[in-house]
Structure 1
Amino acid sequence: MTTSATTPEPRLTSLAHGGGCGCKMAPERLRNILAEMPSAAAFSSLLVGTETSDDAAVWKISEDQAVVATTDFFMPMVDDPFVFGQIAATNALSDVYAMGGRPILALAILGMPINVLSDATIRQVLAGGAEVCGRAGIPVAGGHSIDSVEPIYGLAAIGLVDPARVLTNKGARVGDRLILTKGIGVGVLSAAFKQDRLSDAGYAALVASTTQLNAVGTLLPGTPGVHAVTDVTGFGLLGHALEMARGAGVTVEIDEAAVPMLAGVEALARDGVATGASARNWSSYAEGVVLPDGIEGWRRTLLTDPQTSGGLLIAVAEDRCEAVLDLVRGESFGLAAEIGRIAAGPAVVRVS
């Protein structure tokens, strides 16, 4: 039977076995599943497909226009349905921005346990997504819904980009500097939330970061010196940096002390708060990462921590790094920082 005004609804997070981008399949499992999928290389208009695990597909439709297409959805990491909708929508649009694209419309993806959650609650999830799309200047033009055991929400997002200015994760060049636009630790904060250990300040930091649109990405294609971009999401900073390294055939060097963290994250990580996805991430790509001898476990946890609606990782020419940092910070990314560099060598991530 459907819920009524007299029947208390369960916490959204209690209905999901995972939440946010922590729901993603481990990288190794995903690679195995996709290993025998047919190549799309025969389609000459497909500028970006699945070959380098990039953020979105890009299809050229004319000499000065290409379509950016992506989809992203997950289960709740917070209990407020409106905020859940905001986070999921912000995360989905991030993939368009990471390609240097400008979103033009979105379609909603909705799966809800309709005998457990009220229409009012489900409506609030959709309203949160619509609010974010409104800030992005686009409509939610349709979608699809199903009755699901666990609550699921996200978007299929469509954008446009100049095909000559598409930003991918494989363009990094030796000598480039690396900029990260947001602090890490979203997975730790969401785990603490589920454990009722997250302070009000920590919750505020979680929501502020995950609902901040990566719209600065639309400014990067015309910015001198920007060579590669990806967004840091479910595979953690190390996982997405490794995709950049493999795509470009370079070594990504990360200065661990320079990586920004969200408020309250370090104390929680030191106290053992973590997601299961962090351990799955590490087991999937440990062979591609070189860590310092004796690195503390909580530090590795943060470097592999799944980020929901995380920041952009930007490879930029050394002489343009400060200018790009100023640009990003001017767009209200106050934690943006230079965190490393691109070096010649094997396609690995080296942490110092």
Structure 2
Amino acid sequence: MDHDGAVQRLTQYAAGGGCACKIPAGELEELLAGAGFATPGAPAADLLVGLETGDDAAVVRVDGGTALVSTADFFTPVVDDPRDWGRIAAANALSDVYAMGGLPVLALNLLCWPRDVLPYDLAREVLRGGAEVAARAGCHLAGGHSVTSPEPKYGMAVTGLADPDRLMRNDSGRAGLPLSLTKPLGLGVLNNRHKTTGDVFPQAIATMTALNAEAADAALAAGVRCATDVTGFGLLGHAYKLARASGVTAVIDAAAVPVLEGAREAVRAGFVPGGSRRNLEWVMPQAHVAGVDEDTMILLADAQTSGGLLIAGEIPGAPVIGELVARGPHSVVVRA
């Protein structure tokens, strides 16, 4: 509540929402080009995954059989309920470790708060939500960092452990592998509708708070070595990055891609985040589209928050949505 007793909607205090508030992919690549991230004196062979392919996390070998996985992720409110926002942000941050085939072991809170505008009671609920998900993941949560900010933001820096010989990377795809997706799309448009209207979509919250731990375990058990999580750059954006890094073409069967209930209606009603449109604009020059309508293309490019894993392989319960083929004229092919 504010001082007049009105309910405070967290999404109204942020220009963007969730992973849709990311810097656009094309702009980010231009920003990072030539920025110089090499560490003087550090053995290059120990850095197993760095900046080169824009993978989900950095990975460093600490000894022969152990690798350290490190990531950070935070964003503005994607829902109005503070505890749900904390749960979603935590699940999203942990996902980067799962996407690499790692196990999260330690997380630190990252909190930006407009302390003169929003009460600390709301911030406390956000932190409680994050702690709840970290506990569910069996990941230690130990402090973190906070700053005053005009917009509320929350997330985590997460450290995990992995077997360096069983990493799942976005540059390990090869022609002939099927592509599977472990969560349905449509989170961006449903979250945008929630921000605009206040309507709550329990199916979206359940999807965003679900951990990718089981999917990652199943992928490792199946011998998968190529995967990425689908977040702010949408399915098409992340498929493009995977295909480009692996030197193959990703073929997406649009009709096979699962979509959340209500998402198509949200697109038709115009609740499309700017980030989703920017994703589509970024990928289209690298894509060939055959017989797929515009609304479906928006959903395929929809900016997801705490989305599923895109896996080069098959696992139980995850629909096959396409395949990797030998590199052709385009990095991505979308067919009806």
Q: Please tell me the TM-score bracket, short chain as reference.
A: over 0.9
Task: Give CA deviations for 1:256-286 in whole Å, capped at 9, x if unaligned.
Answer: 0000001111222223221111111122222
Q: CA deviation at 1:10?
A: 3.0
> 2:219–2:311: 8 Å Cα contact kept in structure 1?
no
Task: Give CA deviations for 1:295-337 in whole Å, capped at 9, x if unaligned.
Answer: 3221111011000000000001xxxx3xx2x2xx3xxxxxx31
Letter in 2 for 1:181: T
* Residues 1:341 and 2:295 aligned together: no
Aligned length: 331
Q: CA deviation at 1:223?
A: 2.1
Q: What is the CA–CA distance in structure 2 between the aligned matches of 1:39 and 1:288, rounded to whole Å? A: 27
Question: Is the deviation greater in 232-241 or in 267-276?
Answer: 267-276
Q: What is the CA–CA distance in structure 1 between the aligned matches of 2:170 and 2:327, rounded to whole Å? A: 17
Structure-1-length-normalised TM-score:
0.90
Q: What is the CA–CA distance in structure 2 between the aligned matches of 1:192 and 1:6, rounded to whole Å? A: 26
| Aligned counterpart for 1:311 among listed residues 308, 312, 315 | 308
**SS in structure 2 at match of 1:239:** helix
* Residues 1:105 and 2:88 aligned together: no
> 1:9–1:117: 8 Å Cα contact kept in structure 2?
no
Letter in 1 for 2:333: R
* Residues 1:350 and 2:328 aligned together: no
Letter in 2 for 1:177: P
Q: CA deviation at 1:173?
A: 1.3
- Unaligned runs of at least 5 residues, structure 1: 330-335
Q: Which residue matches 1:177?
A: 178
Structure-2-length-normalised TM-score:
0.94
Residue pairs, 1:158-177, within 5 angstroms: 158-177=159-178
Q: Which residue matches 1:332?
A: none
* Residues 1:224 and 2:222 aligned together: yes
Q: What is the CA–CA distance in structure 2 between the aligned matches of 1:22 and 1:307, rounded to whole Å? A: 7
Q: Sequence identity, in percent?
A: 47
Task: Give CA deviations for 1:174-222 in whole Å, capped at 9, x if unaligned.
Answer: 1100100000000010011122174x5xx10110000000002541464
Task: Give CA deviations for 1:92-124 in whole Å, capped at 9, x if unaligned.
Answer: 000000000000010000000001111211100
Letter in 2 for 1:296: D
- Unaligned runs of at least 5 residues, structure 2: none
Q: Which residue matches 2:280?
A: 282
Letter in 2 for 1:219: D
Q: Which residue matches 1:213?
A: 211
Q: Which residue matches 2:261?
A: 263
Q: What is the CA–CA distance in structure 1 between the aligned matches of 2:155 and 2:37, rounded to whole Å? A: 27
> 1:76–1:84: 8 Å Cα contact kept in structure 2?
yes
> 2:113–2:123: 8 Å Cα contact kept in structure 1?
yes
Q: What is the CA–CA distance in structure 1 between the aligned matches of 2:190 and 2:2, rounded to whole Å? A: 32
> 1:85–1:153: 8 Å Cα contact kept in structure 2?
yes
